Structure 1
Amino acid sequence: MCVSKRNWAYKLSNSIKEDHGQPIWCVAFNLIDGTNEDVFASCGAGRATVYQCLPGGKFEILQAYVDADENEEFYACKWSVNPETGAPLLLLAGKRGLLKALDCSTEELSACCEGHGDAINDISVHPTKPTLVLTASRDSALRLWNIKNNVCIMIIHGDGGHLNEVLTIDFHPFHGEQFLSAGMDNTVKIWSLTGMQEHIDSSFDHDASKGKVFHTRQLACPTFSSHKVHFNYVDCVRWIGDLIVSKSVNNRIFIWKPDTKDDLVGTKGLVHLLHEMELEDAHVWFVRFAMDRQCRTLACGTRSGHVFVWDPADLKSKPHAKLKRDAGSKTTVRQTAVSADGSTIISCCDDASIWRWDVQNQ
């Protein structure tokens, strides 16, 4: 494989500590909206903050949100967009099991979806229909929502579903007809929405004000399921094209391909392991990696506060870069965020701190 030479010289350019003092569980760049690619959000405790990355490594706080319920704690944030107005939407979910959408133009709550029986651990947004949103929950189920009208389209749970908390989900980046899920039962599953399009489309026209109840369907059987990749909690799973990248607590990130050639329903769960990336000191769960838009920069944090960076296409086990924080800053990195072009990496930590690294100009 021919891989072009890249600049892996990242420099620590800034850090900030949020005043709530609680772990920040998630950070996410706005990769869905080309006009706001320098904007990222963080969430922790019952708060979310929207930042802009300025030149010279600086941060600017654009907005801050504090939930009205003092018992709320946000575990996941993702970006969407209102297709009618073009307004950026910040999606938040966590301890209370509610999916909320904040319109960053009006600074108002535009959606609140309720249905999960426990906390929500992760969010994924459909690649072409941004009001379709998946959530993964501690109640061992996934739900597909339409945040246009707070409709629960589908509950993904049943005989073939997860047997414990679902920690991580990801829509296929090209067509959105497939999505991944993984969690505390050590399994990675592939689900398909094929044949469900008419039902999904009907959610866009549903009007609850007319007294009608939307019929939520159940999806119980995945097209593929395997526990052969990991032998512990799987806390992060993402697509790279049709390949899968997943992480557990064994200081490894794997790139692999499901074997479904002779097993159309995926009952054997056979996999082809293609590559592994070596982490250090990352044997705790709920530590999640992130990638840029082209999947050429993958960043994952460690328990000691460092961030390791790879190019997944380069097939190197050792990281291309190890990003270090200031001496004495060793709290766990829970999540990273990578800018659209891979030039900026953000990490968030258990001590309420956020750190920024930028590629140095050569």
Structure 2
Amino acid sequence: MMARIPLGCEAVAGSLTPSKKRDYRVTNRLQEGKRPIYAVVFNFIDSRYFNAFATAGGNRVTVYQCLEGGVIAVLQSYIDEDVNKFELLFCLYFGFFLAKDAFFSDSVLLCLSLVGHGDSINEIRTQPLKPSLVVSASKDESVRLWNIHTGICILIFAGAGGHRNEVLSVDFHPSDIYRIASCGMDNTVKIWSMKEFWTYVEKSFTWTDLPSKFPTKYVQFPVFIASVHTNYVDCNRWIGDFMLSKSVDNELVLWEPKMKEQSPGEGTVDILQKYPVPECDIWFIKFSCDFHYKAAAVGNREGKIYVWEIQSNPPVLIASTILSCCEDGTIWRWDVVASS
């Protein structure tokens, strides 16, 4: 059952005239190659490397570091020799890997291959409270929960109540360790609970047999289904207990899911605010939030970037961002011009 949008709840829309104008200048521009770069992600897992970020595109993943004066240093670059011209790396995210009896140095990469999805993987996210847990969203209409410490697929979110088309985005709740949200080409956002299956999550950390022998469980029914958008939903992020989601209708939407605990799948949606993004009517243009979820940045098909202050009412446009990646294989860095 779809969540209903209550009558009389009118969202507050932001203005495209920045009220907190900041001057930015391009301080660096790197060309990785001729293939598109599909993802650029800052490291939010280890605070010692807060200025490190990574990119994915073609058959390459590269790790960089933002230094003073606009400098971008290349730390490591990895080439997947198994990826051919018909396969591309779409997404990446920083995680935390525990290994026994392993030798580490600054030049060693310990790899783990997680096999299970039947088609392209569109997004990966790490559980902030347990960074050994990773969730993936796929074209095969499923979401999967993995333990990268043991290589186990713990849960598969799919089936009778699952997505009916490509899953494009997924996110962990920042404080409720049992909850995730996913969205996709079936125009819905679905909220799932792992509480009933948490014993299997705990078991995955101590599993010593082959990963293929782990009793992977299907979670077939979400606890909430919302049709906030009328077209593909290609990105969603939890903002506390609220949800920020984006479709191909030139805007981000902040809304509150109001679930009925006694009636899973039922409830209402309260749309709170809308953040316009002109010329953003093609899918797989994803937005990104800062570490404290105070701002959201999103680009459009004309190469412009909009940064919205999420926690203000009405929404405030605060101009540009620091990092972006493009289809021409370039990375751009902007820095705020210091006021005199």
TM-score range, shorter chain: 0.7 to 0.9
Q: CA deviation at 1:115?
A: 0.5
Give the Cα–Cα distance (whole angstroms) in 1 for the partners of residues 30 and 108 of structure 2: 23
Give the Cα–Cα distance (whole angstroms) in 1 for the partners of residues 108 and 212 of structure 2: 29
Between the two proteins, the alignment pairs up a number of residues equal to: 317
Matches within 5 A, 1:257-268: 257-261=256-260, 264-267=263-266
Find the counterpart in structure 1 of residue 12 from structure 2: none
Are the equivalent residues in 2 in contact too, given 1:38–1:52 (CA < 8 A)? yes
Instruction: Name which of 311, 314, 328 aligns with 1:313.
Output: 311
Residue 179 in structure 1 maps to residue 177 in structure 2: no
Matches within 5 A, 1:1-362: 8-19=22-33, 21-71=34-84, 72-82=87-97, 105=106, 107-208=108-209, 213-227=213-227, 229-261=228-260, 264-267=263-266, 270-317=268-315, 319-321=317-319, 323=320, 345-362=322-339
Give the Cα–Cα distance (whole angstroms) in 2 for the partners of residues 9 and 80 of structure 1: 34
Which structure: greater strand fraction? 1
Q: CA deviation at 1:280?
A: 1.1
Q: AA paired with 2:278?
A: E
Q: CA deviation at 1:199?
A: 1.1
Cα 1:58/1:222, change in 2 over 3 Å: same
Are the equivalent residues in 1 in contact too, given 2:97–2:148 (CA < 8 A)? no
Give the Cα–Cα distance (whole angstroms) in 2 for the partners of residues 225 and 105 of structure 1: 45
Give the Cα–Cα distance (whole angstroms) in 2 for the partners of residues 106 and 178 of structure 1: 36
Q: CA deviation at 1:358?
A: 1.7
Please, which moves more after superposition, 309-318 or 291-300? Answer: 309-318
Seq. identity, %: 41
**Any idea what SS the aligned residue of 1:198 has?**
helix
Higher relative contact order (CA 8 A, sep 6+): 2
Q: CA deviation at 1:84?
A: 6.5
Give the Cα–Cα distance (whole angstroms) in 2 for the partners of residues 38 and 317 of structure 1: 28
C-alpha RMSD over aligned residues: 2.2
Q: CA deviation at 1:293?
A: 1.1
Are the equivalent residues in 2 in contact too, given 1:30–1:37 (CA < 8 A)? yes
Are the equivalent residues in 2 in contact too, given 1:111–1:149 (CA < 8 A)? no
Q: CA deviation at 1:307?
A: 0.7
Are the equivalent residues in 1 in contact too, given 2:152–2:212 (CA < 8 A)? no
Are the equivalent residues in 1 in contact too, given 2:99–2:149 (CA < 8 A)? no
Deviations 1:259-300 (A, max 9, x none): 2248731335x3100000010111110000111111112110
Q: CA deviation at 1:213?
A: 1.3
Are the equivalent residues in 2 in contact too, given 1:142–1:157 (CA < 8 A)? yes
Q: AA paired with 2:219?
A: L
Deviations 1:229-275 (A, max 9, x none): 1011000000100000000011110000012248731335x310000
Q: TM-score if structure 1 supplies the norm length?
A: 0.83
Q: AA paired with 1:235?
A: D
Give the Cα–Cα distance (whole angstroms) in 2 for the partners of residues 104 and 138 of structure 1: 36
Q: AA paired with 1:347?
A: S
Gaps of 5+ in 2: 1-18
Give the Cα–Cα distance (whole angstroms) in 2 for the partners of residues 111 and 77 of structure 1: 14
Deviations 1:315-344 (A, max 9, x none): 3446221x3xxxxxxxxxxxxxxxxxxxx6
